[in-house]
Amino acid sequence: MDKKVTVIGAGNVGATAAQRLAEKELCDVVLIDIIEGVPQGKTLDLTEAAPIEKHDASLTGSNGYEASKDSDIIIITAGIPRKPGMSRDDLISTNMGIMKNVTKEAVKYSPEAILIIVSNPLDAMCHVAYEASGFPKNRVIGMAGVLDSARFRAFISMELNVSVENTHAFVLGGHGDTMVPLPRYSTVAGIPITELLTEERIEALVDRTRKGGAEIVGLLKTGSAYYAPASAAVEMAESILKDKKKILPCAAFLDGEYGISNLFIGVPVKLGSSGIEEIIEITLTEDEQNALNNSANAVQELVETLDKLEKESK
């Protein structure tokens, strides 16, 4: 393969992303994790599946970063999930340290790579990676909107009993309870869902989308979603690797767009070989803009928590 992607974190999301990348034959894959034997075992298992799945992608597992040298894309899934009794500040503090460390190590070996951030809290972790890498803003991208939009699309498909291939949806804002699904821009075969569903049903789907991750956590009891998050990260990677220039909702560093500055927020972007090639500004109603501003305020609080923790650690 002439392309190389490193996935940091060999848990469920990372390992599934590695599987999807290899089976789509998009690139050679390096899977990195600090737990000895885990990335090596998972990549060997995936390699042994290759004759059946019929791909020739090379998969390498490692506990160090040397194997990631000259990666085109680095997907970071490393971090811990929130556990019972753990405050939001505890989660941010722990994952901030992990994100800072893995980003610095990864970019040391791949200074021209594009970073796709998956770790939570997503928007805050994008800020950590951005500062730790020193990369330009077009090469640090957060995976959230693709996942949230896919959930919205799935729920629309289920509600109307239509093919998911006919559905399109946009979810903007931060990755959390303040995300902003946009029914006006969500369609089935080009028909706005506002023409196909009652306001009450649309609101129910919007609410389920906002709680999509929590719904899965509640069902699994001991884990969180990983199939859809992995697919979302790989769709972003594919658009970059193939220079497809897909317009996808991703967490991007805004510099005045949508009236928001110095924050990573989910907005439509064009993804190509150089990362974010354009931020698409769509027209929002006053209510939609207010909802986006509210989401930005929630992200700003997370960033301020990061700043506070950074100062306390010095």
* CA–CA separation, 128 and 101 (whole Å): 10
Maximal CA-CA distance, the chain: 55
* CA–CA separation, 155 and 42 (whole Å): 32
Q: Is the peptide bond before 121 cis (omega within 30 degrees of 0)?
A: yes
* CA–CA separation, 60 and 202 (whole Å): 45
Residue type, 143: M
At 69, list the tokens.
């040298």
Helix, strand or coil for residue 312?
Answer: helix
**From 55, 127, 168, 175, active-site residue:** 175
Map tokens 């490393």 to a residue: 78
Q: Which of 200, 275, 288, 207 is nearest to 243 (CA)?
A: 275
Helical residues (DSSP H) of the chain, grouped into ranges: 12-23, 38-53, 88-109, 122-133, 145-160, 199-210, 212-220, 227-241, 286-313
Count Cβ atoms below 10 Å from residue 98 Cβ, excluding itself.
19
Distant-in-sequence, close-in-space partners of 225: CB < 8 Å, separation ≥ 6: 212, 213, 216, 217
Q: Residue 173 in contact with residue 265, Cβ under 8 Å?
A: yes
Whether 175 sits among the annotated catalytic residues: the reply is: yes
> If phi over 0 gives left and psi between -120 and 50 gives alpha, with beta otherwise, what is residue 106?
alpha
Return the active site residues.
175
